[in-house]
Amino acid sequence: MAENTTTTDTPNAADAPAGDEAALRERIAALEQQNGDFLRHLAEFQNRNNEMLQVMRRKDQELEGRLKYAHEKLAADLLTALDNLDRAVDAARKAGDKSPLTVGVAATQAQILEVLKRHGITPIEALGQPFDPNRHQAIQSRPAEKGQEPNTVVQVAQQGFMIHDKVLRPAAVIVAQ
């Protein structure tokens, strides 16, 4: 006859001897400690990861700023040559000169202004505008004439330029008082 016995592989806490129960409690406590350590390490990792992401974002913003204004020094140096072209064109116009040379110089001046514009370098509108010390440099003042508002730019001695949202060179202006 075959014996009909069933065995279970899972220990029952009620059937376990007192020593096994204490060992299980110790094992649970150790696992809880390991789990706590793991969670602390995970939180530290996440904090460090967030810090690194912030550093990377700051570096990206710095790089973007550097690239945005990378040609600032070159543009500032070119403005002196552009001023000379402006003076040459103005002198030729005042003299009534309409020769091919004058037309060519004026075309070169316009071309340089267009290239500067494509790179975010634009002239500062100053004539007739209220004086703004952030964008204008007052080199002289004169009494306001009839119809002129005080503290208004009445003449531009040297054209100013912006590079994106930053003043590259302030406009040198004469202001009505």
Q: Give the pLDDT confidence of 118-144 residue by residue, as tens digits.
A: 999 999 999 999 999 999 999 999 998
Contacts of 5 (CB under 8 A, 6+ apart): none
pLDDT tens readout for residues 19-72: 799 999 999 999 999 999 999 999 999 999 999 999 999 999 999 999 999 999
pLDDT tens readout for residues 86-106: 999 999 999 999 999 999 999
Dihedral of CA 151/157/162/167: which sign?
Answer: negative
Please report, for residues 48, 71, 126, 127, the alpha-carbon distance to residue 116 in angstroms, rounded to integers and kept in the order given: 43, 10, 18, 21
What fold is seen in the domain 72-176?
Answer: Nucleotide Exchange Factor Grpe; Chain A, domain 2 (2.30.22)
pLDDT of residue 148: 87
